[in-house]
Amino acid sequence: MRTILTALSVAAAFAAGPAMAQAYPNKPITMIVPFAAGGPTDVIARIAADNMSKTLGQQIVIENVAGAGGTTGSTRTAQSVPDGYTIMMGHMGTHGAAPALYPNLKYDPTKDFEPIGMVAGTPILIVAKKTFPAKDLKEFLAKAKADGDKINEAHAGIGSVSHTTCLLLNAQAGLKPTQVPYKGTGPALNDLVSGQVDFMCDQIVNLVEQIKGGNIKAYAIATPERSPALPDVPTTKEAGLPEYQVSAWNAMFAPKGTPKDITAKLNDALQKALADENTRKRLLELGAVLPDKAGQTQDALGTFVGQEVARWTPVIKASGAVGQ
Ligand code: MLT
């Protein structure tokens, strides 16, 4: 009898599939941001969610679940009910670098999520407290190398973008700073502005306002070209460290098993947000690099995550950071 009832309930669920998606969403959606409020991932999530909520007709509520370089919130999402009402904003750290830095990671970025879509590329800048005694990148690197662990580097936890991208910088430049972890680069930036820490590698969307306000120093941006949002900040190539080329990205994911009709509906709302003039303006003003139409599909993100995990694993292992 039980077997028959189970079979009937599964059949009913499949039969309701399209109807379920048609009804979706019929209550608010939770978007987990795996870092503290006010940081780049949080800011990008809130800008995208603001427009998506209008398209979907339901509020997307941001829930900040910080810790362990973003892997706490990512694990929470991977283990949530795949009904479309829990999604997350991940990034190059949580869905690219983390597997190489956490041998016992409780999720596989390539298997435990359904890709919704890419939201924003985020160039990385090398920034320091405004009183740091170096006028340019060359002087900064010389001073940081000479002072060793007397220099404090802020980041958002092992495996975060800020941690991973400074790992690369430290390996290339021979720096051995004291690392100061935070629950996100939002709070880390507060301490950089107040001079409690010396430097950070962070995503441009977190930095534009503080750089323009003269509250922190920006030594270089690690992209081939300068950013239109920060035209006065030299590239690492111009500043004498051409080999330091790194950019991060932020993208939306749902837990594995979330019905395709539902993730397609979320992708559609995201694509509409990325086409919305006001949403584009808010992201571009912060220095984000927006994906082209081909880069906005679910398949494009799924393929990209596999490439990022494959790219970062050898880089991180070569840096000797694993197991630190
Ligand atoms: C944040 O939102 O705090 C950052 O994305 C953290 C990081 O990955 O550096």
Per-residue pLDDT tens digits for 20-64: 667 899 999 999 999 999 999 999 999 999 999 999 999 999 999
User: Do 27-121+250-319 and 124-239 agree at the fold level?
Assistant: yes
Q: How many residues does the chain have?
A: 324
What is the structure's pLDDT at 158?
A: 95
Residue 320 has what pLDDT? 72
- Distance, in Å, from the CA atom of 172 to the CA atom of 168, rounded to the nearest integer, reads 6
Phi then psi for residue 211, to 5 deg, are -70, -45
Quick one: which atom of ligand 1 is closest to the CA of 160?
A: 8
* Per-residue 3-state assignment (H helix, E strand, C coil) for 16-43: HHHHHHHHCCCCCEEEEECCCCCCHHHH
* Amino acid at the residue 133: P
Query: How far apart are the CA of 174 and the centre of ligand 1, in A?
Result: 24
Cα(207) to centroid of ligand 1, in Å?
Answer: 12
Provide the pLDDT for residue 323. Answer: 47
State whether the beta carbon of 158 lies less than 6 angstroms from ligand 1: no
Q: Which fold has domain 124-239?
A: D-Maltodextrin-Binding Protein; domain 2 (3.40.190)
Report which ligand 1 atom has the smallest distance to the Cα of 69.
8
Q: Is 270 helix (H, G, I), strand (E, B) or coil?
A: helix
Q: Among the atoms of ligand 1, which is closest to the Cα of residue 40?
A: 2
**Residue 184 Cβ < 6 Å to ligand 1:** yes
Distance in angstroms (rounded) separating the CA atoms of residues 319 and 169: 10
Return the pLDDT at 29. Answer: 98
Q: What pLDDT is attached to residue 319? A: 77
Q: 162 with 202: CB under 8 angstroms?
A: yes
pLDDT for 324: 43
Amino acid 10: pLDDT: 46
Question: What values do phi and psi take at 239, rounded to 5?
Answer: -90, 0
pLDDT reported for residue 7: 55
CB of residue 161 inside a 6 A radius of ligand 1: yes
Nearest atom in ligand 1 to the alpha carbon of residue 188 is 3
40 lines ligand 1 (CB under 6 A): yes
- State which H helix or E strand residue 88 sits in: strand 86-91
Q: What's the 258 CA to ligand 1 centre distance in angstroms?
A: 26
42 lines ligand 1 (CB under 6 A): yes
Name the architecture of domain 27-121+250-319: 3-Layer(aba) Sandwich (3.40)
* Tokens at 212, concatenated: 């323009």
pTM recorded for the entire structure = 0.92
pLDDT at 281: 98
Distance CA 311, CA 118 (A): 18
Q: How far is the CA of 238 from the centre of ligand 1 (A)?
A: 26
Burial class (CB in 10 A: 0-12, 13-18, 19+), 7: exposed
Residue position matching structure tokens 């190539």:
237
**What per-residue confidence (pLDDT) applies to 15?**
54
Digitized pLDDT (tens) for each residue of the chain, 324 residues in all: 555 654 554 455 455 556 666 789 999 999 999 999 999 999 999 999 999 999 999 999 999 999 999 999 999 999 999 999 999 999 999 999 999 999 999 999 999 999 999 999 999 999 999 999 999 999 999 999 999 999 999 999 999 999 999 999 999 999 999 999 999 999 999 999 999 999 999 999 999 999 999 999 999 999 999 999 999 999 999 999 999 999 999 999 999 999 999 999 999 999 999 999 999 999 999 999 999 999 999 999 999 999 999 999 888 888 776 644
Decide: 156 in ligand 1 pocket, CB within 6 A: yes
User: 211 CA to middle of ligand 1, Å?
Assistant: 18
Residue-level pLDDT at 317: 84
Which of 158, 160, 189 has most ligand 1 atoms within 8 Å of its beta carbon, as the pocket-test mutant?
160
User: In whole angstroms, how far apart are CA 133 and each of 68, 151, 230, 285?
Assistant: 32, 12, 22, 29
pLDDT tens for 61-115 read 999 999 999 999 999 999 999 999 999 999 999 999 999 999 999 999 999 999 9
Cα(36)–Cα(187) distance, rounded to whole angstroms? 7
Residue 206 Cβ contacting ligand 1 at under 6 Å: no
- C-alpha 196/C-alpha 134 separation (Å) is 17
**Distance from the alpha carbon of residue 145 to the mean position of ligand 1, in angstroms:** 25
Query: Rounded distance, CA 7 to CA 46, Å?
Result: 41
Domain assignments of the chain as residue spans, ordered by start: 27-121+250-319, 124-239
Cα(164) to centroid of ligand 1, in Å?
10
**CA–CA separation, 166 and 192 (whole Å):** 15
Cβ contact 34:73 at 8 Å:
yes
| 185 touches ligand 1 (CB under 6 Å) | yes
